[in-house]
Each structure stands twice: as C-alpha cells, then as structure tokens.
Amino acid sequence: MPRPAVFHLMLAVLAMALVQAPPVLAKGATGAPDILTVYGNVANVHEKGVNGAAVTFFVNGKPAALPAEVTTSSEGTFEARLTLPPGTLPGARVDVSVERSSYKPTGRQRISRIFSDTIDQAGSHHYLGQASFTLERAASPALWIATAVLLAVYVLIAFELMHRTLAALFGASMMLFVSYSLGTFDHAFRILTFDDAMRAIDGNVIFLLMAMMIIVGIMKKTGVFQWMAYRAFRLARGNIYALAAILMFVTAVVSAFLDNVTTMLLIIPVTVEIALALKIGPIALLLPEVFASNVGGTATLIGDPPNILIGSYAKLTFLDFLGHLTTVNAIGLAVSTLFFVLWFRKDYHAAKVEDVPAMTARLRDEYRITDHRLLAKSLVILAITVTLFVFHGKLEMEPSIAAMVGAALLLITSGVHIVEMLEKEIEWPTLIFFMMLFVVVAGAEQTGLIQVIADWVREMSHGSLVVAIVMVLWVSALLSAIIDNIPFTATMLPIVAYLTTAIPGAQDGILWWALALGACLGGNGTLIGASANVVTAGMAEKAGHPISFMQYLKIAFLPMLITVTIAMLWLLFVQR
C-alpha cells in the first residue's frame, strides 16, 4: 500500500478511537487548556518525502507558540502538539505553512479536519488534526551553486587538475560551507544540512567495499591469485587474445552472482600477476574486465547496486532480472569483447611469449598455493559469504552485512592482525572518494537538479511508450556516466513508477528494464560512473599503474554507446 494511503488509514483508525473513547469529565468542567495534536506529511511532486522542512502553525491568524521548532523527518512526516487556551477548539481557525530551501513556500493551509475530542484526567480537551503538503521546486541560488560545484568536481577529475578524492572532498566541503555560512542568513542558499550529508553516505556500499577488501587481502596471502593466473594462461595456451576474452567472460559471469565491485576486488590481483608475467601493461586487461563486470552485473538482481534498488522498489525478483536481461547482456558482452580485443591488439601482440610450454612450466613452478590451510578456511568462509549474498533479499539483510560477517570470521580464523589489514589492504582514498561523492550528489538532489532532469524525461515522453523507453534508457545511461548511478537510480524510481502506470503498454514493466540497462551499462562510460570503475582505478593506482579519467573515457565511452544501442534495439523489438 502506498505510504500516503497507510498514513491516512492510520489517522482514521486513531480518530475513531478518539471519538469512541468515553470522556472522563464533563466538557467545560475545568479551565484546563485545549490540546491539539497535528500529524502530517510533506512530499515533493514525485511523492517523495521532504525532510527538514520547517512547519509553522497559526491560530486565528496569529503564530502559535510551540516548545520547539517543528521540522519534517527523513521520510517527510511531522507531529506537533499545540497547547491552546480553554475553549479555543473546535471553533478556532488553525492554519499550517511549510517552508524548505529550494522549494516554493506553501502559504497558509487551513486544517479543516479536526476530530472530536476526549478529556483527560486534568480536564484538558484533546483534538486530532492532519495536514498534507506537496512542495514544488524553486530555482533558488542553492540550485545554481550546487550545479556549479558538481560541474567543478567533474572538471577537476576529468582534466586531472586534482586527485579525484581531493576533488570530491573539496566539492562536499564547499556545499556544506555555503549551507552554514550564506545559508544561515538566507535559507535560499541552504544546499544541504550536515544530517542530510550523513544520510547521503551509503553505509551499505562503504562497508561492503571495506569488508571485501579485507577478505581479498587475506586470500592474497595464500597464493591463490597467482595460481589462478597460471591456470588462466594455461587455458588460453599462450594466446593473449584468447586470454583477454577468457578473463572478460569469467569476470562477467562471476559479477552476475556476486556484485561487480566484489568481483573486481577478487580479479584485479590475478590480472596484475598475469600482465606482469607477460610484460604488458595491466590496463590492457583491467579495462576490458571492469567493463565486462558491469555488463555481467546488469543481468541479475544482485549483480549491480542499481538493480538492487530497482528490484526492491518495483518488487522484481531474481528470476525476473535473469529472464529479461540475460540474453541482451550476453550479446553486449560478446560485442564488447570483440571491441576490446581489437582495441588492445597492439598491446597483446607485444606480449613476450616466445616459448609457451616453457612459460607455462615457469608459471606452474612460481605460482603455487603457498598456504593450503589458510586457503581452505578462506574458501569456506567465502562460500558462506556468497551464499548470504544470494539469499540476502529473503533474509532482509543488506549485502554489506554478509561481507562484514565473512571478513570478521576470516580475520578470527586466520590469525591475521586487523591493524595490518586496515593499514595495508583497505583502499582508504577510494572509500573517502565514495563518501564525498555521495555528499556532492546529495547536494544536487536536495536542491532539485536531478529532479529537473527526471521531470524533463516525463514531460518529453508525451505518453508514447517508444519515446519513454528511449528516453529512460539513454538519459539514464548518459547521466549515470556523469553522476554515480546509485543515487541517480534512486531518484528515477518514482518517475519510472509513474510512467509505468500512466503510459499505455508500460504496465508490463518494460521501463524498469530500460532504467536497469541504462543505469548499469551507462556506468561503463566514465571512470566514476560505477563503483567497480572507481575501485579498479584505486587498486591499479596502488599497484603502480594509474588509470586517468581521460584515458578511461577514450577507451570505454564508445563501447558503452554500442552496448546501450544494443539494449535499445532489444527493448524496442524483442521485449515489447
């Protein structure tokens, strides 16, 4: 049941209880004050709750005195208790107004429904009222400042004028500084509060990354990744083109059943070992792999964070994703594999593999399992972690909890010191980058920038299913390449839900698949478009092989456009 319906039903039940409760004292027996409790909710035009809105009450045209300022919760609800002179209600006029930076003020709205009262032991008459508001966005100075800061952050990253973590930190701090300097004197400059910033940081993503970094760091001590490098080379029989294709395929398949970030954390050490053995730059193998991880992760509910958001909101199952998206992503993987093999053909051709049998023998001798006991423990705990990933939906468990359980168990059973892991294996610059980027994007969302784009998609479709499919797909793809696809997907959910019910023919859920394909495949377009890209860049930089923003863009943007085009053709001619 939609939240507004639940809210009104709750009020109705409570009102009936109040009406039916017998009075304790006769009405008017004392001079005790009247008590009015008002419940309400404030939402934007997309029916999403607006937090931090200031709620003001007026009784007979005069401001009502309240013991504390009333503001809406993170879900947009509020509750206020007004103490009024005896006999004020129910005849008095009680008005409510709501204000929030980046929104147009509502003006005063009368509470027309004040339910019958009861009388408590002290003789006070208790009344119940309700109020609901829908706020419209306003082009405030905060919107333009947030837009400028967001663009500045991406320019600094794109042209490598500043390290990406520092650029994101600079952007987040500037938004908060403006909010608490200019915004203190004029709320039109209030971009977001500190509480807004803290809520914007997705702890599930941060703890998932940190826990998997610990698991991978411990598993590296067993020599298993070097052994996998040897097995991959042996399977390819010295053919570097075949090796690159095998690594892309394995990465895509694993990403469909683990999240793509975890997959890259596992595969990157293997890739670096292979590349060093072949005397080629690891980037020639890493970029195709991370691209494949995003393509493969698009196929399932748990493969990519945007899919998790979509599945939860639209009540789509693991099998729904598998049935609708597996084929199109398999086609996209095949095409992108061909693209990358051709793109990096010079690098692969330059690989030093004069004597394949000798190279295979050397890898077999050098890349052995060094700690079988620790490997056995690691594999058992990794299997437990993967199982929790698969069933986390039924358990109502966040994926990060599964990863933290695995990391904790492995630290305890392996005897590896946690301080060593925190100092040597955790990619702190990557985690801080994510946290600060979440804050920057939250500023753009709070001020209405992302909602402006979403509204534009809705208006431009004009009721056409074909136009809606194309627009949802391509807008999601292009913006997910610029803005991290997780917060963008969260913003698009109510828009797609509305289009699904309003546009004829969309009721079968095809727009959800357009959003999933656009957000996940579009994240391949830039270095910061998807979480897996950022993690790969961080680990590659730590290994001494940094990947620049422009280098990634030059290589990956074209195949991203190709895979999204394949997805569009699939949606228009196969899924309809």
The answer to the question of residue 171 being in a domain is no
> Which of 198, 186, 76 has the alpha carbon at shortest distance from 142?
186
Q: Are 442 and 153 in contact (CB under 8 A)?
A: no
The answer to the question of residue 161 being in a domain is no
Report how far residue 570's alpha carbon sits from residue 576's, in angstroms, rounded to the nearest whole number.
9
DSSP 109-134: EE---EEEEEE-TT--EEEEEEEEEE
Which residue in the block uniquely carries the two structure tokens 């072949």? 278
Does 238 share its domain with 115? no
Q: Are 273 and 226 in contact (CB under 8 A)?
A: yes
Report how far residue 537's alpha carbon sits from residue 165's, in angstroms, rounded to the nearest whole number.
12
The CATH number assigned to the domain holding 85 equals 2.60.40.1120
Strand partners, 36: 82, 127
Does 495 share its domain with 390? yes
Last residue of a domain, one of 92, 110, 135: 135
Q: Burial, 67: exposed, middle or buried (Cβ in 10 Å; 0-12, 13-18, 19+)?
A: exposed
* 444 token code pair: 């753009």
Does 91 share its domain with 227? no
3 state DSSP class of 315 = coil
Report how far residue 480's alpha carbon sits from residue 14's, in angstroms, rounded to the nearest whole number.
44
Over the chain (576 residues), what is each successive 10-residue block's mean pLDDT? 48 45 39 88 85 91 87 92 88 90 86 75 85 88 92 82 90 96 91 91 85 87 80 81 91 83 81 81 92 92 82 80 91 96 90 73 80 92 86 80 93 91 87 88 85 75 86 91 77 81 84 95 90 86 86 94 96 78
The answer to the question of residue 130 being in a domain is yes
Residues in the chain: 576
Give the distance from CA 71 to its chain's centroid. Answer: 26
Does 17 share its domain with 130? yes
Q: Are 189 and 146 in contact (CB under 8 A)?
A: no
> Which of 34, 28, 30, 26 has the alpha carbon at shortest distance from 85?
34
3 state DSSP class of 138 = coil
pLDDT of residue 29: 37
The answer to the question of residue 179 being in a domain is no
pLDDT of residue 307: 86
* 242 token code pair: 């075949």
Last residue of a domain, one of 105, 135, 165: 135
Does 392 share its domain with 526? yes
DSSP 150-201: HHHHHHHHHTTSS-HHHHHHHHHHHHHHHHHTHHHH-GGG----HHHHHHHS
Does 411 share its domain with 282? yes
Say what angle helices 428-446 and 449-461 make with each other, to 10 degrees: 60
Question: Could you give the angle at the alpha carbon of 379 between the alpha carbons of 377 and 382, nearest 5°?
Answer: 105
Q: Domain range holding 98?
A: 3-135
The answer to the question of residue 321 being in a domain is yes
Report how far residue 414's alpha carbon sits from residue 406's, in angstroms, rounded to the nearest whole number.
12
Total domain count for the chain?
2
Does 332 share its domain with 472? yes
DSSP 434-462: HHHHHHHHHHHHHTTHHHHHHHHHHHHHT
Q: Are 82 and 35 in contact (CB under 8 A)?
A: yes
* 530 token code pair: 């998807």
The answer to the question of residue 433 being in a domain is yes
Give the distance from CA 386 to its chain's centroid. Answer: 21
The answer to the question of residue 362 being in a domain is yes
Does 94 share its domain with 242? no
pLDDT of residue 381: 93
Question: Could you give the angle at the alpha carbon of 403 between the alpha carbons of 407 and 220, nearest 5°?
Answer: 50
CA-CA distances (angstroms) from residue 11 to 17, 41, 203, 288, 539?
10, 12, 33, 55, 53
Does 402 share its domain with 255? yes
CA-CA distances (angstroms) from residue 30 to 59, 92, 114?
22, 19, 21
pLDDT of residue 576: 61
The answer to the question of residue 146 being in a domain is no
Report how far residue 568's alpha carbon sits from residue 230's, in angstroms, rounded to the nearest whole number.
39
pLDDT of residue 20: 42
Asked if omega into 90 is within 30° of 0 (cis), the reply is: yes
Which residue in the block uniquely carries the two structure tokens 């053909």? 345
Does 262 share its domain with 386? yes
Does 527 share its domain with 413? yes
Last residue of a domain, one of 135, 153, 177: 135
> Dihedral of CA 145/151/156/159: which sign?
negative
